[in-house]
Structure 1
Amino acid sequence: MKTEMAEVQPVLILAIETSCDETSVAVVKDGCEVLSNIISSQIETHRAFGGVVPEVASRKHVEVMTLVIEQALAEAGVHPQQLTAVAVTQGPGLVGALLVGVVAAKSLALAWNKPLIGTHHIAGHIYANRLVAELKYPNMTLVVSGGHTELVSMEQEGVFRIIGRTRDDAVGEAYDKVARSLGFPYPGGPHVDRLAREAAEAVALPRVWLEPGSYDFSFSGLKSAVLNVVNQSKMKGLEPNVAGIARGFQESVVEVLVEKAIRAVRSTGSRQLLLCGGVAANGGLRAALISRCEAEKIELIIPPPVYCTDNAAMIGAAAYVKWQHSGGTPLDMVADPGFSLEEWSVPVASIE
């Protein structure tokens, strides 16, 4: 008699992301195929304030959550009972914004009788790379998001070790503060990037390397150096060389990020370098990493811009890894604005 193989059912995860000012819901199949990824941005709302206002962000999440969930399911062509689990960003992020997503996810998990998967926001950014390429281990990730600048080593799937992090401003925060000092509206990073690549010359600015061999970062001093250049020009009655300052700032940031990332890859024997986070959409950084990795013969993965900024597809990708190794999360899970990436890691596989 022939034994028919049982058909393997796909893992369909509905994921919710509300860590800051984007309300996003996605349906992701087997951790790598995006069936839908709906994003409702609040940029226009917060631009009037020059930055994200946490209370306003939370209220906006509440207003659009139901509609975004419905759109994600409709676009994916998936009925709730076909889902394997419901995933949500547990942290880090703005506590009020996180709470909206967590409450929504818990409600859906209960109503649909589906497991809940609490997911780490930065793990999501890292696994956004799996939406575009197969990951090889060990690998190294350069995380450059609004509130995080880190070098994260993964020796095996879902196991994270931070080997370097910022000691003050994250690179995204530094871009926004420098942009404000140069007269650009929020969000300022794209304006600085554009002007930097158009500038004919760069105003000389310092590189902050810290101690020899350190993988940590510091951008507060560089931000202060930019302010000094702007203020000195104004005190002399001159208009600041905005384009030259933007280029000098970007070149300083990019040189340090690229050099430390390449050194981290070499020192850990990583097979790939991954780039992730909102600043991964920066054209200057992408171009510099591509050029350097080609010269060093290092495999580089960079997600498209839609997966660099906050989105739920990346949460679905990371949740799949957690589901495969650890299963779901208890329903008494709480939103955690200080959630540790290393603690979220899946259990380390025993070595025979």
Structure 2
Amino acid sequence: MICLMYFRRKLKIYRLGGGTTVPQDYPFITLYRRNLSYSRKTTILGIETSCDDTGCAIVNGYGNILGECLYSQNALHVRYGGVNPVHAWELHRDNIDLAVKNALKSAKIGVSEIDALAVTVKPGLLLSLTIGVKYAKFLAKKYDKILIPIHHMEAHALVARMYYDIPFPYLTLLISGGHCFLAVVKDVDSFLLLGQTLDNAPGEVMDKAARRMKLKNIFEYSAVSGGRAIELAAKNATNPAMFQFPIPLLKNRDCNFSFSGLKDSLVRKVLKKESEHGLRGDEVIPEIYDLCASFQASIARHLAHRLERAITFCEMKKLLHFDTKNIIISGGVACNDYIYSCLERVGNKFGFNLYRPPHKVCTDNGVMVAWNGIEKVKKGDTIPLLSISNIDPTASFGLNIIDQVKEANLPIRAPTIENKM
């Protein structure tokens, strides 16, 4: 009792929802909020600012999107050939209040009517994450709401469950401009990491490849992202077999990825063709469509090769139940229909069902953050108190068992796929 009275006098007390009080900044203990009671009517506002899009959404326990708003920065970053962290931070700062207000307006509710807020705290760009976390903390304090910290990649891995009845466990492949992960999703807060990229992410490499091929100088591709430009251009290919790309890490018997070598190979091919045609400045090589198709196919083959090994490993280790053979593909690159169809063929080969969220939810958005909050509340997760120090730009994803995959030493033949759909 004496110690408790001392703490109350000496430490700042933080009031929680439901009247609970705990010390705010005591260095020797981890502080937690009391769990929320879940029902289908539980409503959560999600805020996403991990990279270059400001997203906000209100989602309930039924999986209904009551309101949402997304401010995309793509038009600006296309001009720079990639995400500029400072410009992303400035746009988040300018748009965060509008995004939240517009989402609430479309839902026809106020912050006081929601049950909790969820916000991305890791991983991502430090400046961008800070904008979302600070704003969410402001709302939580003003309206006395519980604040749920969200892991960006976990949100990507779980959001498909909002649209499909997919039980745990399942396999997920997360492919975007910033990440590439293969993992087993055992539960809402339990993940086994099977593989990750050793260098660049697939979306990042496609953006850089599009910039080197000068696709933005072709009018119909001037206003879309690099990855989308490659997908569209590849559909016009007539002879993609003229270009050949190696499959990365073919002799490495693991599930890791590497895409930088494919980018370097593409640059050499572009330089060779530009020299052959005597091109200068903004001129684009005549074989651009075939090169795009071949490059896209090389990305798909690499992803398919690692996915097949992951499936084989999971079946050998009995990490998935025989009646829940499901794979979720998510992240921005999952929007690429050609790549998705190649991965789907791998799944079909082993009797797996492949799912992906709707395109607008594959990319960064507030819906996946709000839904992750719903999943945590439903499971009864203890919610930690959130501070700026919880932001982690380089956070790991799940329990790393990559070495176990290597030790399994599973030989997987290189997949054969068509260069065009």
TM-score, with structure 1 as normaliser: 0.90
Among 375, 382, 403, which residue is 1:327 paired with? 382
Contact 1:272 / 1:299 at 8 angstroms: preserved in 2? Answer: yes
Give the aligned CA root-mean-square deviation in angstroms: 2.0
Does residue 282 (structure 1) correspond to residue 336 (structure 2)? The answer is: yes
- 1-structure distance, mates of 2:96, 2:148: 18
1:31/1:321 contact within 8 Å kept: no
Which one of 147, 161, 182 corresponds to residue 213 of structure 2? 182
Q: CA deviation at 1:184?
A: 2.1
Alignment match, 2:237: 199
Per the alignment, in what secondary structure is the counterpart of residue 26 of structure 1? strand
Asked if structure 2 preserves the Cα contact closer than 8 Å seen for 1:179 and 1:192, the reply is yes
1:339 aligns with 2:395: yes
Q: Could you say which residue in structure 1 is the equivalent of 2:72?
A: 41
1:314 is matched with 368
Do the aligned partners of 1:174 and 1:223 also contact (CA within 8 Å) in 2? yes
Q: Which runs of 5+ in 1 are unaligned?
A: 1-6, 344-352
Counterpart Cα distance in 1 of 2:211 and 2:40: 50
SS at match of 1:341: coil
Is 1:92–2:123 an aligned residue pair? yes
Gaps of at least 5 residues in structure 2 are 1-37, 217-223, 279-284, 400-421
Taking the TM superposition and a 5 Å limit, the aligned residue runs for 1:89-238 are 89-185=120-216, 187-202=225-240, 203-237=243-277
Is the Cα contact below 8 Å between 1:90 and 1:339 reproduced in 2?
no
What SS class does the counterpart of residue 326 from structure 1 fall into?
coil
**Secondary structure of 1:116 counterpart:** strand
What is the match of residue 60 of structure 2? 29
Q: What fraction of aligned residue pairs are identical, expressed as a percent? A: 31
SS in 1 for 2:235: helix
Please say if residues 40 and 61 of structure 2, whose CA atoms lie closer than 8 Å, have aligned partners that are also in contact: no
Q: Write the distance in 1 (CA, Å) between the matches of 2:198 and 2:292.
A: 22
* Largest Rg, 1 or 2: 2
Given the alignment of the two structures, is residue 268 of structure 1 paired with residue 314 of structure 2, yes or no? yes
Structure-2 change in CA distance of 1:240 and 1:55 (3 Å): same
Q: Shift in Å at residue 212 of structure 1?
A: 4.0
Deviation of the 1:303 alpha carbon: 1.0
Change over 3 Å in CA distance of 1:179–1:31 after alignment to 2: farther
What's the secondary structure of 1:163's corresponding residue?
A: strand
- CA drift of 1:247 comes to 1.0
Write out per-residue CA displacement over residues 124-174 of structure 1, whole angstroms, 9 at most, x where no aligned residue: 111121121122222110110111011011123321111101111111111
- Supply the AA of the counterpart residue of 1:107: F
Deviation at 1:295, TM superposition (A): 4.1
> Which residue does the alignment assign to 1:348?
none
In structure 2, relative to structure 1, the CA distance for the partners of 1:257 and 1:8 (3 Å cut) is closer
Does the 8 Å contact 2:188/2:376 carry over to 1?
no
Q: Residue type matched to 2:380 in 1?
A: H
Quote the Cα distance in structure 2 between the aligned partners of 1:208 and 1:116.
Answer: 42
**Corresponding residue pairs, total:** 338
Q: CA offset at residue 188 of structure 1?
A: 0.6
Q: TM-score, normalised by structure 2?
A: 0.76
User: For residues 101 and 73 of structure 1, what CA distance do their matches in structure 2 show?
Assistant: 16
